[in-house]
Each structure stands twice: as structure tokens, then as C-alpha cells.
Amino acid sequence: MKLKILLIFTPILLFLPSLWNFFSGDDWFHLRITQISSLGEFLNFFSFFHTTQSATFYRPLSTQTFFFVFQKLFSLTAWPYYLFVLICFGYSLYLVYCFALSRFKDKDKSLLTAFIYGISVSNFTRLYFLSAFQEIVLVIFSLLCLLSFEKSKLKSLIFFVLALLSKETAIVLPILLLIFNFKDIGKRITGCIPFIVLSLIYLLLRFNLFGIAQGDSYVWNFSLVKAGNTLIWYMLWSIGSPEFLVDYIGSGFRPISRFFTDFSLWWPAILGLLLGTSTTLAVLFIGKRKKLDFNFFKYLLLFLLPLAPVIFLPQHKFSLELGLPLVGFSLLVVNLLLERKTVLSIIFFSFYIALNLSMNYLTYSRHYAVSRGNISRSVYKYISKNYPILPQKQYFEFINDVGDYGKEWGQSKQISQALSSSDFFKVYYKNKDVKVYYQDMVEGRPINREPIILSSKQFLSQ
């Protein structure tokens, strides 16, 4: 019993420090567009036509509704947002356990599946960056959809709709329903027709009206080589590689020299634990390759299919996308691990725990969600104390007052990234016309208005 409690609550305790994080980056954008005052504006969240309440992606339930409700309840007090996210994460772990139990019919294997899922360092961004909340909601509604299908097609369909309103990758759920009901596919396919019809309607509205995301990182590339490279990274992140490692790996998957200087104390642990974890998992797979059953390939497809919408976006690969695929990965690992309890299984498990726990600590010290959250909090405290009311006939400008961070990533640009340019000020003053300037951003300054010069250093050093 003590072991079961430990397996359930360790992931929650691991990510408990997220409660002390603050808003950052896209959070301010989402807070701005959800400062609304009418029912019509609320309904705009769900419109496929672009409105002032639209975001880059169509995720009205997990993004706009989430920020709207919590902003109304808690304003800019951040910890209740993070507490809710952590509670939802805990519920998702319970659903991973339930789904694993429906597959393995074994409580110990199911607990281990939830534990492997829960301590994965890939959960970091989903828990420390509020704008990534859709990943957790997607997992919840997707698993509820899969678990409900056999007992109630209507409930399953409702959860499918909620999943689609949370994130677009839920579009793969009808295929997963067929895969996990393959033995009775003749009986089940009729029940899948409403899911398929709804998917077609959603795709028509999504692409013809709402459109696709634009930008340098959303460039489709259907090269199989590029897709293979992207898939390898998602596999490495599933095992426990820190997300930032992708920035330090050159051609041929060789670390660049900066990796050894930036992580002079950590690089042996990163490479050693990653090599140990991946090697033992590969040996476990090779040892069982002749005994792989159909369930193994179901779990493999549960890993691959949710990645299909992003696998051909080589410039837009992030470990946060592993919310649902990681369920498949965890099932795969337990399927390999517990065929029989061998020394190799214990070695893999030890490597996996050591890698993910240590990389969680390292990620906490370097992740943008934490550093930008600290910057945002510092600016929030400063503005609350010194300029609680919007100054008239003046404007704010952040300057690079110390050192030379370079043209591409100056001090004030870091502030801009943390505050989403002017969005923080628009949210704080509840004024969508506020415009803030940064020395690194080449823009014309207002005429006949005096600047309020803000030192970037004071916000970066806290």
C-alpha cells in the first residue's frame, strides 16, 4: 500500500514548485484577449471566424475559457491557476492508470504505467507554462473518450467534442477508437460513424474558416528524413532527455562545443543517463521482438498518431506535444518491462528514474517558463508599487542599460518575451490601447510624450 501511495503522489510532489511560478509570455496574450465584458465576446471564443477574442490556435475550452474563468475569480494571483493545473494533472494520472488497467488487467502494471508517465520531465512545460494547459486537458478528455466508448457512445462522443475544443490533435481519436476496439471492429464501426462525421465537419470549419497557424516555425516539410529526425527527438524526450538538448545537437546527432561549456558539470550526467536509459530499453525491445503481440502495436500507434499533426513541422517541435503520445510510450515501456522481472528491467527503471528526476531539477533552473515568470513577477511588483495608475502623456521604455547581449537577444528583448510585448501592461491597466517600447525593437516613439525609462537589469537580476 505504501508503495502504491508513493507511485501515485511522487509525480505530484515533483511538480509542486510550479505553484510558485508566475505568468509569462503567451499567458499575457491570453489574459488580454479574455478580458471581456459581454456574452457575445464569450461566444467569440468558440467562433471559427476570427475575432478579437481569437488566438493563434482553435483551443477555446482549454485556453480562452480557462484564462477567462480564472481571471474573473483570481485576477493576477497566479497560484490558483497553477493549483488547478496540478489537480488536473493528478486526475490525468488517475485516467492513465484506469486506461492501463483496462489494457493490462493488472493493478501493479497500471500503477507503474501512471508513475512512468507522471515523472517524465516532458511534463515540465505542461505544468510550468499556463498556456500549455491544453495538453493536460487533451489527455483528460481523450482518455475519457476512449474509456467511455464501450459503455456509452454518447458520453464518448461528448468527450470527443470537448477534446476537439481543447486541442486540434484530438482529431486522431476516431482512429484510436477503431484501433483499441479492433477485435470487434465489425460491431464498433457503426458506433464510430458519428465521430467520423463530426471530424469531417470540424476539419472543414477548421481549415476553411479558421485557417492554419502562420509563422516561421509553422512551415510544413514532408521530407521523410526531417520527419525521422523530429520523431527521434520525441522519442528522446519521452525517455527523459531535457528539451533544451535539441539546441546543442548538430548534424549527425553530435553535441556542439557549447554544450560542454554551458553544462560543464552536467554534461556527463545528461549523456550518461540518457545513454544508459536508451540502451537498456533498446535491449529489452530486442529481447522481446519475436514475442511482440498486437497490443504492443496498439500502444505504438497511440504514441505515433497524436504526433502525426506535428511530425512534419521540423521547426516546431517541443516536448509539451507529448501529452497524449506519452500514454502510449508508458504502456509500451511497461509492456516490455514486466514480461518478466529481470535485472535488465530493474536497471532500466533505475536509469529512467535517475534521468527524469535529475533533468527535472536541471530544467527548473533553465526553463524559459520559470525565468520569464520571474521577470514578469519583478515587473509586476515594480509597476504595482511605482505606477499603479497608468501615467498620462508618458510611455514606458525598457533599455539595455548594462552589458551587450547582442542584437539578436538583448536585455530589453528578454523583457519583451516575458511580457509578450505590451500585453502585460494592457492586462494590468485593463487598457488595450497601451503601447510599451523596448530598445531592441526598432519602432517609432510617440511624439510629444515623455518616456519613462526602465532599467532592464533590475528585472533580469531578480
Write the burial class of residue 21 (CB in 10 Å: 0-12 exposed, 13-18 middle, 19+ buried).
Answer: buried
- Residue keyed to cell 468527450: 159
Q: What is the pLDDT along the chain (462 residues), one digit of tens a residue?
A: 566 666 778 899 999 999 999 999 999 999 999 999 999 999 999 998 888 988 888 999 999 999 999 999 999 999 999 999 999 999 999 999 999 999 999 888 999 999 999 999 999 999 999 999 999 999 999 999 999 998 999 999 999 999 999 999 999 999 999 898 877 666 667 778 889 999 999 999 988 888 777 766 777 888 888 888 899 999 999 999 999 999 998 887 888 999 999 998 999 999 999 999 999 999 888 877 777 778 888 999 999 999 988 898 888 888 999 999 999 999 999 988 765 568 888 899 999 999 999 999 999 999 999 999 999 999 999 999 999 999 988 999 998 876 555 555 578 889 999 999 999 999 999 999 999 999 888 778 888 889 899 988 888 865
Q: How far is 24 from 6, CA to CA, in rounded Å?
A: 32
Of 268, 267, 282, nearest in space to 236 by CA: 282
DSSP structure string for 255-292: BPHHHHHHTTTTHHHHHHHHHHHHHHHHHHHHHHGGG-
Note the pLDDT of residue 339.
58
**DSSP class of 63:** I
437-438 vs 450-455, strand pairing mode: unpaired
From residue 59, alpha-carbon distances to 74, 134, 137, 147, 291 in Å are 22, 7, 10, 23, 41
CA–CA dist 354, 339 (Å, integer)? 22
Nearest CA to 321 among 165, 136, 135? Answer: 135
- 307-325: per-residue pLDDT in tens? 988 898 888 888 999 999 9
pLDDT of residue 386: 95
82 residue type, one letter: Y
Closest CA to 293 of 96, 105, 104, 102: 104
pLDDT at 253: 81
User: Which candidate, 433, 425, 438, places its Cα nearest to that of 387?
Assistant: 425
Query: What secondary structure does DSSP assign to 331-392, as a single string?
Result: HHHHHHHTTS--HHHHHHHHHHHHHHHHHHHHHHHH-HHHHHHHHHHHHHHHHHHH-SSPPT
CB 142 within 8 A of CB 162: no
Complete DSSP assignment for 154-199? HHHHHHHHHHHTT-GGGGGHHHHHHHTTGGGHHHHHHHHHHHHHHH
| Alpha carbon distance 296, 436 (integer Å) | 54
pLDDT in tens, 69-85: 999 999 999 999 999 99
pLDDT at 341: 62
pLDDT for 150 equals 87
Residue 182 makes CB contacts below 8 A (sequence gap 6+) with 294, 298
Domain spans of the chain, in order of start: 2-210, 224-367, 369-460
At 251 the pLDDT is 81
Give the N- to C-terminal CA distance of the chain in Å, as an integer: 43
For the whole model, what pTM was predicted? Answer: 0.93
Neighbours of 167 (CB within 10 A): 28
